[in-house]
Amino acid sequence: MTLRDKTAEDSPRSWVRAALYDARIRGWVFQAVVLVVLLLLTLWILHNTAANLRAANIPFGFDFLHMRAGFDISQKPIDYTLDSSHAQAFKIGLLNTIILSVLGIVFATIIGFIVGISRLSNNWLLAKAATVYVETLRNIPLLLQLLFWYKAVLSVLPGPRQGYMLPLATNLSNRGLTMPRPIFGQGFDFVMWALLVAAAIAWGLARWARTRQAATGQPFPVFWASAGLVVGLPLLVFLALGAPLTFEIPVLKGFNFVGGMVIHPELIAMVLGLSLYTATFIAETVRAGILAVSVGQSEAAFSLGLQPGQTMRLIVVPQAMRVIIPPLTSQYLNLTKNSSLALAIGYPDLVAVFAGSTLNITGHAIEVIAITMAVYLALSLITAAVMNWFNARVALVER
Amino acid sequence: MSRIETDTVFVRRDFLSPEPPPASFGGFPGWARRHLFSSPLNIAISLLMLLFVAWALPPLIRWLFVDAVWTGSNREACLPKNGEPMGACWAFVNAKLAQFTFGSYPADQRWRPALVMIVFFLGLAAVAVPGTPGRRRIVWLMLTAFPVAAFWLLYGGLGLPVVETSNWGGLLVTLVVAVTGIVASLPLGILLALGRRSKLPFIKIVSVVFIEIWRGVPLITVLFMASVMLPLFLPNGVNFDKLLRALIGVAMFTGAYMAETIRGGLQAIPRGQYEGAASLGLSYWQSMRLVVLPQALKIVIPGIVNSFISLFKDTSLVMIIGLYDLLGSIQRNFSDANWSTPSIAPTGLIFAAAVFWVFCFSMSRYSMYMERKLNTGRKR
């Protein structure tokens, strides 16, 4: 034993062998090799890119953002002319992407929850209809659905003269949805303030009612009281100020409407396609979440004497939400990323405006693609962070 | 007995009159009562649904089948005649079917992609059905010999005339992108998943960053990057195929998603398996190859099939960078002056939707079947 130890210490070869078989040293060597390979690859790519850019005579840099854009955009939530800069075009693209994603998320959530609960309905027709809806739309590419809504449904609608008149002076035609535009008169901001104040009071009321119920067992009709507050207070202020709100009704002149507010068919097709497609995934999430709450939970609630509505609201939904929220988050992220398909039907979102028009005009491929990817990455990371925070709040607190 | 304190003992001597029979719970009426008309709300919902079906279904069937045009050689066939309503223009799909399948692949060479597709589907069926004789050998053939033979048949060379990828199109491109994407992304995904669970800090960081970047951006920007940025990354003069560039983008993108799927499988393997492999003296790669991955990959087969479904749907995006997959070649034919009528856009899109649906729906059923099959194995 001692003899072997001695030789092991003395011989330099066995020291090397020991190092070679040491998992830690091997790990460091392996990492160093990967690091060097990655560095060399990056350098090689940078070198090639620099050479290619020099050959194409495109200097690398972000100065192009301040140059005149010179292309028009069909839907602009903020000021934009042909003389605006590419930076302004970028802002419009980003805003349009956000508008589209928010609208899509709201509708997809509503449809998804309704369909998901319908699939579990005792009503055979409703459950089957929900199943058919989910299984059909889930298995068809989103791009195809967007093209379908845009090319096969909205473009073949009749022109404004023969368009479908809907209630509230709204008209659906191949120019989109034309509706009255609200004009906010003087003092309308007070109504908004009243709404905020009412919401704050409702929140305080809910807290007070919860504490009181915990202390005395006396329930308080929080829902109706809050609803009355949130609707009533702004309405009172509105009427007291003499109803400072008028509508500009669109009028048919020649071949199109004049005045009013238009939602373009591209936006309608995008919102329809995105929300109907994503809703199928949300519906499956919701269904799985509700099924994940064991029947014993509802039975226990019934045996405590809770009403079916209360059981749903107080026992089943909070537990189901815990299962639903993480996949729901990734569906919201998917929807945001899928909104980039707007390019295919000409809705001016970030990709269409910036990675499309700006890239084609300036040729700054690397900068433009990098900025576009960074924006989506940031949106994804922010959504993920917010949802993780929310998830941590509702997560099961285990001892 | 002793507890009975009264002395009036009651013993019934005659039968009670029978209760009326219970409301029928069997047969269609009972079923309908339970599942359609159990409460006022349910009655309202059922009536609404029935009204909706009655309102929507007959016009749809009329448009799809009754009023549809089945034969014809140009737009004349599908134009509305003397005010009669016209349905779907199936004649258009019929006339363009070869183009929707193979794109502008030369007509006299179309047997090549057709042969590849047939062999692919036969091989896939043999692999997918458990209990096929020689299944293991078929898997190896599909992974080694088939890609080489398929590339030779599709591209040409060695005696066959070369067909440039710019002439490929239709379902062929859809399948090539989807299958290559999934096959290339599997090894990438395995490496990334192992990297993300590695104890080596640098490897872990690189894997996490790679996975999160690709998962955080839309596929469309990845395709844009592959089509406009990739050429800039390579030495001047090296310019490779547009289809190949799209394939690289798709493989990177899918690889990141695949990594997360496989990571789920790796996490599901109990710690004891890792420890058992280590205590047998297996090295890291040996224990992964012989013990952990075979179990982990088996668990995630349904997940891999689901990734394949989403990849299959996402292949339609290559249309945006100017490749003509199934959707792209249908869309391109909308502007064919020979066929231009209002009904071809809905017809073509519904046809594409049906093709995609058949593929994706059957794959999702297969994934559910595998899930059930694998579950019973693990339940004991």
What SS3 state is found at A279? helix
Q: With contact defined as beta carbons under 8 Å apart, do A283 and A276 qualify?
A: no
In a domain, A249, yes or no: no
pLDDT value of position B376: 55
Which candidate from B45, B217, B235 shows the least CB-CB separation from A373? B217
pLDDT value of position A397: 62
Residues B258 and B183 occupy one common structural domain: yes
pLDDT value of position B88: 85
Of B133, B168, B203, the residue that ends a domain is: B168
pLDDT value of position A284: 92
Residue B138 token pair = 């078929």
pLDDT value of position A344: 87
Residues B321 and B177 occupy one common structural domain: yes
Residues A362 and A308 occupy one common structural domain: yes
% pLDDT > 90, chain A: 24
pLDDT value of position B3: 59
Residues B232 and B145 occupy one common structural domain: no
Residues A36 and A97 occupy one common structural domain: no
Threshold 0.90, pTM exceeds = no
**CATH of residue B321:** 1.10.3720.10
Complex-level ipTM: 0.86
Residues B156 and B202 occupy one common structural domain: no
Cα angle: A306, vertex A311, A316; to 5 degrees: 155
Between positions 229 and 268 of B, the ones with CB within 8 A of A are 229, 231-236
Of B129, B151, B168, the residue that ends a domain is: B168
Residues B215 and B281 occupy one common structural domain: yes
In a domain, B337, yes or no: yes
pLDDT band per the 50, 70, 90 thresholds, residue B380 = very low
Which tens digits make up the pLDDT trace of B267-315? 888 889 989 998 998 988 899 999 999 888 888 888 888 889 999 999 9
Q: Which residues contact B131 (CB under 8 A, 6 or more apart)?
A: none
In a domain, A366, yes or no: yes
| Residue of B319, B337, B126, B106 whose CA lies nearest to A343 | B319
- For residues A168-192, average pLDDT: 78
What SS3 state is found at A248? strand
In a domain, A291, yes or no: yes
- For residues B211-226, average pLDDT: 90
Residues B127 and B214 occupy one common structural domain: no
- For residues B345-350, average pLDDT: 90
- The count of domains in chain B is 2
Average pLDDT, chain A: 83
- How far is B330 from B344, CA to CA, in rounded Å? 10
In a domain, A331, yes or no: yes
Query: b vs e for B342-365, b when ≥16 Cβ sit within 10 Å of the residue's Cβ?
Result: ebbbbbbbbbbbebbbebbbebbe
In a domain, A289, yes or no: yes
In a domain, A312, yes or no: yes
Looking at residue B105, the DSSP 8-state letter turns out to be: -
pLDDT value of position A1: 44
pLDDT band per the 50, 70, 90 thresholds, residue A240 = confident
Instruction: Note whether A148 contacts B353, CB cutoff 8 Å.
Output: yes
In a domain, B20, yes or no: no
Which tens digits make up the pLDDT trace of A249-274? 777 777 677 777 778 888 999 999 99
Please report residues of B whose CB lies closer than 8 A to that of A377.
Answer: 213, 216-217
| Residue of B305, B289, B299 whose CA lies nearest to B269 | B299
Which tens digits make up the pLDDT trace of A16-65? 777 777 778 888 888 899 999 999 999 998 888 888 888 877 777 777 77
Q: Does B1 touch chain A (CB under 8 A)?
A: no
In a domain, B69, yes or no: no
C-alpha R_g of chain A: 30
Please report residues of B whose CB lies closer than 8 A to that of A152.
Answer: 345-346, 349-350
Which tens digits make up the pLDDT trace of A276-335? 999 999 999 999 998 888 889 989 999 999 887 888 888 888 888 888 888 888 898 889
Q: Which residues contact A67 (CB under 8 A, 6 or more apart)?
A: A85, A86, A362
pLDDT band per the 50, 70, 90 thresholds, residue B141 = confident
Instruction: Note whether A351 contacts B221, CB cutoff 8 Å.
Output: yes
A–B interface: beta-carbon pairs under 8 A = 155
Residues B128 and B175 occupy one common structural domain: no
In a domain, B118, yes or no: yes
**CATH of residue A373:** 1.10.3720.10
pLDDT value of position A167: 72
Closest-CA residue of chain A to B198: A27
Q: With contact defined as beta carbons under 8 Å apart, do B211 and B261 qualify?
A: no
Residues B207 and B346 occupy one common structural domain: yes
Alpha helices in chain B (DSSP H): 27-35, 40-61, 90-102, 111-128, 135-143, 145-155, 170-196, 201-216, 219-224, 230-233, 242-268, 271-279, 284-287, 293-299, 301-314, 326-332, 344-379
pLDDT value of position A2: 47
In a domain, B147, yes or no: yes
Of A16, A40, A56, the residue that ends a domain is: A56
pLDDT band per the 50, 70, 90 thresholds, residue A10 = low
Instruction: Note whether A49 contacts B233, CB cutoff 8 Å.
Output: yes
What SS3 state is found at A20? helix
Q: Which H or E element spans position B239?
A: none
Helix then strand count (H, E) for chain A reads 15, 8
- How far is A125 from A342, CA to CA, in rounded Å? 35
In a domain, B9, yes or no: no
In a domain, A37, yes or no: yes
- How far is A229 from A222, CA to CA, in rounded Å? 10
Residue B134 token pair = 């020689």
Residue B353 in this model has a pLDDT that exceeds 80 = yes
- How far is B70 from B68, CA to CA, in rounded Å? 6
Count of all residues that appear for chain A in the document: 399
Residues B216 and B278 occupy one common structural domain: yes
Q: With contact defined as beta carbons under 8 Å apart, do B269 and B260 qualify?
A: no
Instruction: Note whether B349 contacts A359, CB cutoff 8 Å.
Output: no
Q: Which H or E element spans position A245?
A: strand A245-248
Instruction: Note whether B228 contacts A53, CB cutoff 8 Å.
Output: no
Q: With contact defined as beta carbons under 8 Å apart, do B99 and B336 qualify?
A: no
Domain span at residue A16 reads 2-56
pLDDT band per the 50, 70, 90 thresholds, residue A175 = confident
Question: Any idea which of A135-149, A322-336, B11-25, B166-180 has the lowest mean pLDDT?
Answer: B11-25
Instruction: Note whether B349 contacts A52, CB cutoff 8 Å.
Output: no
pLDDT value of position B126: 87
| Residue of A178, A184, A183, A166 whose CA lies nearest to A260 | A178
Residues A21 and A110 occupy one common structural domain: no
pLDDT value of position A123: 86
- How far is B1 from B3, CA to CA, in rounded Å? 5
Residues A107 and A49 occupy one common structural domain: no
Please report residues of A whose CB lies closer than 8 A to that of B314.
Answer: 141
Q: Which residue has the higher pLDDT, A270 or B239?
A: A270
Residues B164 and B202 occupy one common structural domain: no
In a domain, B91, yes or no: no
Which tens digits make up the pLDDT trace of A71-129? 777 777 777 777 778 888 888 889 999 999 999 999 999 999 999 988 988 888 889 99
Q: Which residues contact A204 (CB under 8 A, 6 or more apart)?
A: none
In a domain, A65, yes or no: no
Instruction: Note whether B349 contacts A148, CB cutoff 8 Å.
Output: yes
Residues A45 and A103 occupy one common structural domain: no
Fill in the amino acid letter for A334.
N
Which tens digits make up the pLDDT trace of B54-105? 999 998 998 888 888 888 888 777 887 776 777 888 888 888 888 899 988 8
Residues B207 and B287 occupy one common structural domain: yes
pLDDT value of position A11: 61
Instruction: Note whether A126 contacts B45, CB cutoff 8 Å.
Output: yes
Residue B207 in this model has a pLDDT that exceeds 90 = yes
- How far is B332 from B185, CA to CA, in rounded Å? 30
Average pLDDT, chain B: 86
Which candidate from B42, B52, B236 shows the least CB-CB separation from A123? B42
- How far is B259 from A190, CA to CA, in rounded Å? 54
Residues B197 and B247 occupy one common structural domain: yes
Domain span at residue B310 reads 171-375
- The count of domains in chain A is 2
* Maximum Cα–Cα distance across chain A: 107
